[in-house]
Structure 1
Amino acid sequence: MDGNTLIPVVLFLSIAVSICYVVKQLVQSRLRIKMLQTCNSTELVESLVMSDARRDQLTALRWGLLSITEAIGLGLVQLMGWTYPYFSVPAILLGAFGLGSLLYFWFGRRFG
């Protein structure tokens, strides 16, 4: 694929994913507003706010760990001096992704 066809495809996919994400966020926020309007319990409101904050923290933890382990994997590939795509390059990157996921699971269990 040359650059003349790759750029429009990537642009279209980026716009489509962005629109889907915005629609998802709007639907979730509308659902929360309706639920909170019908609810009289302050305990439920507090639990919703706390669960949202916790979910956001765990999301940040997950993507932070995955980014760090992928950076280590890419650094390892660079350190080895591989410029041609050997079969071990995807193995190292997938292993780094798996290690990041396991670290996320461990940290989520430990601090969750």
Structure 2
Amino acid sequence: MDFETLIPITLFICIAYAIKAVVDARTRAKLIASNGSEELIRSLVQAEALQRRHASLRWGILLLAVALGFALIEAFGWHEVTPGVIAVLLAVTGVGNLLAYAASRKLG
């Protein structure tokens, strides 16, 4: 594995996530400081909690689908990267996203 390219990518992702966290925190602080209505703040907090739960559900379903894709690749004995192997991974990723969407619609 080429760590010379992995390190800058990881650094970029960490910086982007840190900026997002700071901006979200400042937005919440300004909203609270502006004496927003209690109902508005409560609805924002509840919406964020629901969004976090749905994100966890989506990632769980998606990772299970990708794991199923890798299990299929292993079961068929494909050891080289071919367009068929990539198609299987893309297909299970799409199915996982569709299942996550259906689950979030059913729950939400």
Residue aligning to 1:61: 57
Residue aligning to 2:87: 91
Alignment partner of 1:44 is 2:40: yes
Structure 1 residue runs without a partner (length 5+): none
Residue aligning to 2:20: 24
Question: TM-score, normalised to structure 1's length?
Answer: 0.92
Following TM superposition, where does structure 1 have runs of at least 4 consecutive aligned residues deviating by more than 3 angstroms? none
Identity across matched positions, percent: 31
Question: TM-score, normalised to structure 2's length?
Answer: 0.95
Residue aligning to 2:11: 15
Structure 2 residue runs without a partner (length 5+): none
Distance 1:40 1:10 in 2: 43
After superposition, what is the alpha-carbon deviation per residue over 1:41-67, rounded to whole angstroms, capped at 9, x for unaligned?
Answer: 111111011011001001101111110
Distance 1:31 1:40 in 2: 12
* CA RMSD, Structure 1 to Structure 2 (Å): 1.0
Aligned length: 108
Distance 2:36 2:86 in 1: 53
